[in-house]
């Protein structure tokens, strides 16, 4: 696909960041006029420095705060099936080296050279989240190329979520190729079995990013476990697979807890080893405290309380509150895992909020492990947002 558009950085905007790999150009960094504002979202353009020297080929969305995303360092690059095939093949080779089975995040947006594109693979199925205008428009070609590169039979477009709204994209879910699965897909990870609802679940149906943190939690698995904001049971089922005696799952979603139960059944777990609590997580923590329940391991993996900077302070207060309510539920010498997937909350801020909450909960703690997303969620070093996941594991005293 060729481009006839050209955009230029403002005179005081330094081009070094783009030359050194930063992938975004913000709206206040671009010379805008009637012509540039009229470029259709998802179009490709040559980005020039203030002296009109070509810098890169970008995709443009005048409706977004991220006005342009770098597609290729070569301004003459052609974004077509061959270009997509090269990017997808590169991504696939990394995952095939990392994992024995085809269950992983195949494409992690800018970090894999496909701006705004998320692709999760579930065996013979793949789910695409096209979170940038160019990928939404080219989704059929991405699906076709994906099938050619990976051999998957079914490709689903999941067009849900906050990011699409920021890009001015409507919500939609559809099957781009193959046939929609009639039941949730079984996903093996860390010796556990999870059920992923590819058509109606959160995000793509499963969160692969926590895989290494589930594995660390398995090393702590003993006695009774509390998995709060459990979704499909990521931490709890992993710890049951590793020998925990019992797991209590807390989530506000009945469909999510149904998937937990189906996962437990797929693992042939004794039903007496699990308990499901459908309730607001904050309220559930308060109820469990009133009942004087205690657990050997407590894990809290909430949604993003601070998805963007305007929500940062409120988000940090929410993380502190979670830690304050969870800490008293941990048995003496037990473990507390606290997670954040908030882009706006960096590791230091999240760690400080968690420590304050534990202290306010009347406990003292050792921080024993800090986790992040797995290697199928690579970071682009120039873009801090790609390193969004943080997992803190504490040992609490008596």
Angle at 62 between CA 56 and CA 68, to 5 degrees: 25
168 & 205 share domain: no
How does pLDDT run across 258-283, given as a tens digit for each residue?
Answer: 999 999 999 999 999 999 999 999 99
Percent of the chain scoring above 90 in pLDDT = 90
Mean pLDDT of 235-251: 98
Is residue 73 pLDDT above 80, yes or no? Answer: yes
What confidence category does residue 155 fall into, taking pLDDT thresholds of 50, 70 and 90? very high
65 & 108 share domain: no
267 & 313 share domain: yes
Domain end, chosen from 120, 149, 177, is at 177
234 & 206 share domain: yes
127 & 205 share domain: no
Q: Reduced to 3 states, what is the DSSP secondary structure of residue 192? A: strand
- pLDDT of the residue at 385: 79
The span from the CA of 225 to the CA of 46, in Å, is: 54
43 & 119 share domain: no
Task: Determine phi and psi for 381, rounding to 5 degrees.
Answer: -55, -30
The domain spanning residue 26 has which CATH number?
2.30.130.10
How does pLDDT run across 296-310, given as a tens digit for each residue?
Answer: 999 999 999 988 889
Total of domains in the chain: 3
The domain spanning residue 171 has which CATH number?
3.30.750.80
29 & 95 share domain: no
How does pLDDT run across 180-197, given as a tens digit for each residue?
Answer: 999 999 999 999 999 999
Beta bridge partners of 173: 158
- pLDDT of the residue at 307: 87
Q: Are 176 and 143 in contact (CB under 8 A)?
A: yes
Domain span at residue 62?
Answer: 5-72
Is residue 2 pLDDT above 60, yes or no? Answer: no
Among residues 297, 231, 280, which one has the least CA distance to residue 258? 231
Percent of the chain scoring above 70 in pLDDT = 99
Exposure string for 16-35, b = 16+ CB within 10 A, e = fewer:
eebeeebbbbeeebbebeee
Mean pLDDT of 343-347: 92
Mean pLDDT of 45-68: 96
Domain end, chosen from 150, 177, 204, is at 177
Is residue 1 pLDDT above 60, yes or no? Answer: no
308 & 384 share domain: yes
314 & 366 share domain: yes
287 & 345 share domain: yes
Is residue 347 pLDDT above 70, yes or no? Answer: yes
Mean pLDDT of 15-44: 94
Question: Is 341 an annotated catalytic residue?
Answer: yes
159 & 239 share domain: no
Domain end, chosen from 142, 177, 212, is at 177
Mean pLDDT of 367-380: 97
Provide the angle, in degrees to the nearest 10, between the axes of the packed helices 81-98 and 139-150.
50
What confidence category does residue 292 fall into, taking pLDDT thresholds of 50, 70 and 90? very high
Q: Catalytic: which of 341, 345, 353, 389?
A: 341
CA dihedral 278, 281, 282, 283 (to 10 degrees): 10
Q: Reduced to 3 states, what is the DSSP secondary structure of residue 193? A: strand
Is residue 381 pLDDT above 60, yes or no? Answer: yes
Which tokens sit at 223?
């006695």
What confidence category does residue 316 fall into, taking pLDDT thresholds of 50, 70 and 90? very high
The domain spanning residue 323 has which CATH number?
3.40.50.150
219 & 260 share domain: yes
Q: Are 389 and 210 in contact (CB under 8 A)?
A: yes
How does pLDDT run across 162-179, given as a tens digit for each residue?
Answer: 888 889 999 999 999 999
Strands (E), the chain: 5-8, 24-26, 43-48, 54-60, 66-72, 103-108, 117-122, 125-130, 154-159, 172-177, 185-189, 192-196, 224-228, 246-251, 274-278, 295-300, 330-340, 365-371, 390-396
- For residue 9, give the DSSP letter: B
Alpha-carbon distances, residue 37 vs 7, 122, 142 (angstroms) = 10, 39, 27
């Amino acid at each position: 696909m060729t481009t006839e558009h050209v955009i230029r950085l403002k005179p005081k905007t330094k081009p070094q960041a783009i030359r050194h790999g930063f992938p975004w150009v913000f709206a206040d960094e671009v010379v805008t006029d009637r012509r540039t504002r009229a470029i259709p979202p998802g179009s490709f353009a040559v980005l020039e420095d203030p002296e009109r020297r070509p810098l890169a080929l970008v995709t443009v969305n005048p409706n977004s705060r991220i006005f342009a995303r770098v597609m290729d360092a070569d301004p003459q690059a052609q974004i077509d099936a061959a270009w997509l095939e090269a990017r997808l093949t590169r991504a696939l080779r990394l995952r095939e080296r990392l994992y024995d089975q085809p269950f992983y995040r195949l494409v992690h947006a800018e970090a894999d050279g496909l701006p705004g594109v998320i692709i999760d693979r579930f065996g013979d199925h793949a789910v695409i989240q096209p979170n940038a205008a160019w990928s939404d428009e080219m989704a059929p070609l991405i699906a076709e190329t994906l099938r050619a590169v990976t051999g998957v039979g079914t490709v689903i477009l999941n067009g849900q979520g906050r990011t699409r709204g920021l890009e001015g994209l409507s919500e939609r879910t559809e099957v781009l190729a193959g046939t929609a699965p009639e039941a949730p897909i079984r996903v093996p990870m860390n010796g556990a079995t999870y059920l992923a609802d590819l058509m109606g679940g959160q995000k793509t149906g499963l969160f692969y990013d926590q895989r290494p943190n589930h594995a660390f939690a398995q090393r702590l698995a003993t006695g009774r476990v509390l998995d709060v904001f459990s979704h499909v049971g990521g931490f709890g089922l992993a710890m049951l697979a590793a020998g925990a005696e019992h797991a209590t799952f807390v989530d506000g979603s009945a469909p999510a807890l149904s998937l937990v139960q189906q996962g437990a059944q797929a693992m042939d777990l004794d039903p007496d080893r699990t308990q499901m609590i459908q309730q607001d997580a904050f309220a559930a923590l308060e109820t469990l405290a009133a009942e004087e329940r205690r657990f050997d391991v407590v894990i809290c993996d909430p949604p993003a309380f601070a998805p963007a900077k305007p929500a940062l302070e409120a988000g940090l207060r929410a993380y502190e509150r979670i830690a304050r309510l969870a800490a008293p539920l941990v048995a003496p010498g037990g473990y507390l895992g606290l997670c954040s997937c908030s882009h706006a909350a960096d590791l230091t801020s999240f760690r400080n909020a968690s420590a304050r909450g534990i202290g306010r909960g009347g406990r003292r703690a050792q921080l024993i492990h800090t986790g992040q997303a797995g290697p199928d969620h690579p970071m682009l070093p120039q873009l801090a947002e790609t390193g969004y996941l943080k997992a803190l594991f504490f040992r609490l005293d008596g």
